Chain A
Amino acid sequence: MSKQINVALIGNPNTGKTSVFNALTGLNQKVGNYPGITVEKKEGICKLPRGVKAHIIDLPGTYSLNASSLDENVVIELLLNKNDKDFPDIAVVVSDVENLKRNLLLFTQIKDLEIPTLLVINMADRMRYKGISLDIEYLEEQLQTKIALISTRKNEGIDYLKSLITNFKDLSITPCLNASEIDTEYFDSLRKAFPNQLLYKLWLVITQDVNFGKTTRNEIEAVANFKTKSKADLKRLQQKETIKRYQFINNVLKKGQTIDVSQAKDLRTKLDRVLTHKVWGYLIFVIILLTIFQAIYDWSSVPMDFIDGIFASLSEWTKDMLPKGAFTNLLAEGIIPGLGGIVIFIPQIAFLFLFIAILEESGYMSRVVFLMDRIMRRFGLSGKSVVPLISGTACAIPAIMATRNIESWKERLITILVTPFTTCSARLPVYLIIIALVIPEGRVLGLSYQALTLMLLYLIGFGTAVFSAYLLNKILKIKSKTFFVVEMPNYKLPLFKNVVLTVIEKTKSFVFGAGKIILAISIVLWFLASYGPGDEFNDAENIVTIANSSENLTEEELQQKIASHKLEHSFIGITGRAIEPAIRPLGYDWKIGIAIVSSFAAREVFVGTLATIYSVGNDDEDTIKNRMAGEVNPILGGPLFTFASGISLLLFYAFAMQCMSTLAIVKKETNSWKWPTLQLVIMTAIAYITALIAFQFLK
C-alpha cells in the first residue's frame, strides 16, 4: 500500500471549508462520529498526482484553538496528539477572502504547533466585487507558508491546491510570530521546566478547560519548580496573546492587502435592511416558514404515497411467493412494514434538510437567530433554539441534533427537552383519523371545525414547548456560560453540490441511525402480536369456528374473527387487557390501550395497530374509520369514539413521549439516561392527566 498523506482541513465557520472538502473528495467521503461523542467526523479520500492519495479530515469549524464547545475540542485534541492515527502530515487552513484578518488568527496559532501548514484563500471570485487585491508573494513570505488562492464556486485553483498538498514536505514549519513575548518571564520558566515539549502546546494545555490533557496537565502541575497562574491571570494573558496576534496580522495585511472601497458592492447592507427589519424581517420569516410547511406536507405526500404503495405490494408479494411459515410472516408482517415505516419518512426528512441546508448556506439562518433571540430568551431558550423548534415539526430527531451550536449548555438542554412537544409529522396520521371521527363537519367563519382543531393542536404543541421551557428555566439549577455570539455571514447563493451532499448525508444518517431502532421495535411488536400463551391463542381457529358455527359467515369474515381472537390472546393482547384499568378513566378500551402501548415505539404505529386489531385487512382509512365509528363502549354502551374520548386521545398524543428514536437521540446528545427518562416520565404524566381531565369533564 502506498503511503497516504494525512490532511486536516481547519478553518473558521462560514469560510466554505466544507466546499473545499467536497471539491477535493467528491463522493469519496463518509461521515461518522468521533468515538464516545456525537460530533460528526467527516473524512474522505483525494487522489493526488503521481498516484499519491490523501486522507482528508474536515475538522469542525472553529475561530481559534481556544475551544469553547465539544466540536472545537475535537480540533485541538487531534492537533495536540501526535500518536493519533489521523494526526495530520499537513494542516490546510481555509480562509475566506473577505474575512482574512479574522481567519488569520487561527492560522498563526496553527503555525505555532510546527506542523506543515498551508493557507487556502477561498471565494477568490468575490475579490473583484469587494475591490480587494492581494500581494500573494509578500503574504507567503510574511506568513511563512504557501498560499492557494481558490474559488470552489468557479472550481478554480483546486489543482494547484492538490499539488501543494502533494509537496507538503517543502512547507515551512517555522512559526510566523513569537507569541511568548507577551510574558517572557512566565514562558521562560515554562520552557525551563519542560525542555522537551513544544511551548505553544504547553500553553494550550494549561489554558483549556478541555478534558484531553488531564494527564499532561497533572504532569505540569506536579513539577515543583513551576508556578501556575490564577485563572483570571491566564485569561488576561490569553487576551494579550490575541491582541499580539492581531497586531502582527494587521501589520502584514497593511502591506499585503489593499481594499478599494469605491469598488465594493454592498449587497449585504441592502438585504439586511429588509431581512432584519423590525416588521418586514418577521413577516418574511413567517412567509418562509409557511412555504416550508407547505412543501413538507404537500409536496412530499406524492412520493410518500408511492413508497407506501411499494412496501404494501412488496409485503403482499413476499407472502405470495415465499412458502408459508413463521419466517415469511416475520418478513411480510414485521420487517417489511417496519422498513416501510422508516423509508416513508425519507421525502419529508429530505425536504426538511433541503430547506435547512439552503437557509444555512445562504446565511439567512443567522438573521433568524438574530431576530428571535430576545423573544426566545424570555423562555430560557436562545435565538438558536428557533432552528430545532422549526425542524421539530417534521421530526424531533434531526431537530435535537440541530441544537449543537447553542453555546449555553442550559439553553441547549432546555431546547432538547421541549422540542418533542412540537407537532411532528408522526402525530399527523393519528390526529387526522380521530378528528375525522369525533369533530363535526360544520364551519365557522369559512373555516371548517376539523381544520381549526388541527391548527389548535399545532398551537398546543408550540405553546407547551415554550411554556415548559419557561418552567424548566426556573427549575433547572445549571450554571453555564450564557454568552451568545452569532456570526452574521455574507449572503451567498447556495452551492448546489453542497446542498445535495448535505441532504444525502443527513438523510442517510437518519435512515440508518433511527432506522435500526424502528426496525428492531417493529420486529419485537410483530412477535408479541403473533404469539401468545395457552389454548385461547394456539387453538383460536377451532374456538372461533365452533363459536360461530350457527352463523352464516363467509370464509373471509371467519378469518377476520380468528385473527382478532388471536390478537386478543396474544402477548400484546394480554398486555392490553392488563393495562385496561389504567386507561379506562381516559375513555379507552383495551384495544386502544394496545395501540397506545405499541405506539410508544413510534406514534404513527397507532393507526396501523388499530387497523390490525379491528381486523381490517387493508390500510384503507375509510374502512378503519367506519370500524372505529362502529366500536361500542363495553361498559357505558354507545359508541366508543365519542367527542370526549376523542379529545382525550388527541391530547394524549399531543403530550406523550411516544418515540423510541427520539429518546435514543436525547440519550446520545445529553450523554446520560437521566434526561430521556425524565422526558418519558414527565411527558407521559402530563399526557395522562390532561387526557383524564378532558374525558371526565366532557363525558
Chain B
Amino acid sequence: MQDTLAHLKRGEHAVITDVSSIHIPLKLLEMGCLPGNSVELVQVAPFADPMYLNINGSHLAIRKETASHILIEKVTHE
C-alpha cells in the first residue's frame, strides 16, 4: 500500500502524489496541498493528531483523518 500523509513522521519530507478530491476540502487544495508539491511534518500534537505541516511553504495544521486521504512519496533528505 502506498504511503499517505498520515504515515509521515516528524521532520520527514515527502512529495504529494495524489489527493482524493472527494474527501479533501477545496480550501486545503487552495492552500497548496496539490500533487507535485513538497510537504514536511513540522510537529505533531499528542496522539499524532492534528498534524502541523509545511506544504509548499504554507504552514498549516490538519487532522490525521484528512491526512490519510493524501497520498505521498517519502523523500530521503540528503
Chain A positions near chain B (C-beta within 8 angstroms): 63-64, 66, 68, 98-99, 101-102, 105, 232, 235-236, 238-239, 242-243, 246, 268-269, 272-273, 276, 278, 366, 369-371, 373-374, 377, 383, 481, 483-490
Nearest Cβ distance between residue A50 and chain B, in whole angstroms? Answer: 39
B21 touches A239 (CB 8 A): yes
- Residue-wise interface mask of B (31-63) relative to A, using a CB-CB cutoff of 8 A (1 in contact, 0 not): 110110100001101110110100011111111
Residues on B with beta carbons closer than 8 Å to the beta carbon of A232: 22
Chain B positions near chain A (C-beta within 8 angstroms): 19, 21-22, 25-32, 34-35, 37, 42-43, 45-47, 49-50, 52, 56-63, 66
Nearest Cβ distance between residue A418 and chain B, in whole angstroms? Answer: 21
A68 touches B50 (CB 8 A): no
A487 touches B26 (CB 8 A): no
B28 touches A485 (CB 8 A): yes
Residues on A with beta carbons closer than 8 Å to the beta carbon of B32: 101-102, 246
Tell me the complex Cα distance, A238–B25, Å: 11
Can you spell out 26 A-B residue pairs with CB atoms less than 8 angstroms apart? A63-B27, A64-B26, A66-B26, A68-B27, A99-B57, A101-B56, A101-B57, A105-B30, A235-B26, A239-B21, A242-B34, A273-B43, A276-B45, A278-B46, A370-B43, A373-B49, A373-B63, A483-B27, A483-B28, A484-B63, A485-B28, A485-B60, A485-B61, A486-B50, A486-B61, A488-B52
Given A63-B31, A276-B43, A373-B45, check contact A485 B57 (CB 8 Å): no
Nearest Cβ distance between residue A259 and chain B, in whole angstroms? Answer: 9
Residue of B nearest to A369 (CB): B61
Determine the main DSSP class of A at the interface with B: helix
A489 touches B59 (CB 8 A): yes
Sorted nearest first, the 8 A-B pairs with minimum C-beta distance are: A488-B59, A64-B30, A483-B25, A370-B61, A276-B43, A486-B61, A239-B21, A484-B63
Residues on B with beta carbons closer than 8 Å to the beta carbon of A374: 45-47, 49-50
The residue among B30, B32, B66 with the most chain A CB atoms within 10 A of its own CB is: B30
Tell me the complex Cα distance, A333–B30, Å: 58
Residues on A with beta carbons closer than 8 Å to the beta carbon of B42: 269, 272, 488
Nearest Cβ distance between residue B40 and chain A, in whole angstroms? Answer: 11
Nearest Cβ distance between residue A2 and chain B, in whole angstroms? Answer: 39
B59 touches A242 (CB 8 A): no
Tell me the complex Cα distance, A179–B12, Å: 34
A242 touches B29 (CB 8 A): yes
B21 touches A235 (CB 8 A): yes
Residue of B nearest to A268 (CB): B59
- Pick from A63, A483, A490: contact of B66, CB below 8 A: A483
Given A102-B32, A235-B26, A373-B45, check contact A484 B21 (CB 8 Å): no
Tell me the complex Cα distance, A245–B56, Å: 14
- Pick from A235, A371, A485, A489: contact of B27, CB below 8 A: A485
Tell me the complex Cα distance, A232–B26, Å: 12
B52 touches A370 (CB 8 A): yes
Nearest Cβ distance between residue A376 and chain B, in whole angstroms? Answer: 11
Residue of A nearest to B27 (CB): A68
Known contacts A246-B34, A366-B61, A485-B27; 16 additional CB pairs below 8 A are A66-B27, A101-B56, A102-B56, A242-B34, A246-B37, A272-B42, A272-B43, A278-B46, A370-B50, A373-B45, A374-B46, A485-B60, A486-B60, A487-B58, A487-B59, A490-B59
Given A276-B43, A370-B52, A484-B50, check contact A102 B28 (CB 8 Å): no
Tell me the complex Cα distance, A236–B59, Å: 25
Residues on B with beta carbons closer than 8 Å to the beta carbon of A371: 45
Residue of B nearest to A372 (CB): B45
Nearest Cβ distance between residue A63 and chain B, in whole angstroms? Answer: 5
A242 touches B45 (CB 8 A): no
Residues on A with beta carbons closer than 8 Å to the beta carbon of B60: 485-488
Tell me the complex Cα distance, A579–B30, Å: 59
Nearest Cβ distance between residue A203 and chain B, in whole angstroms? Answer: 14
B22 touches A235 (CB 8 A): yes
Given A371-B45, A374-B46, A485-B28, check contact A243 B52 (CB 8 Å): no
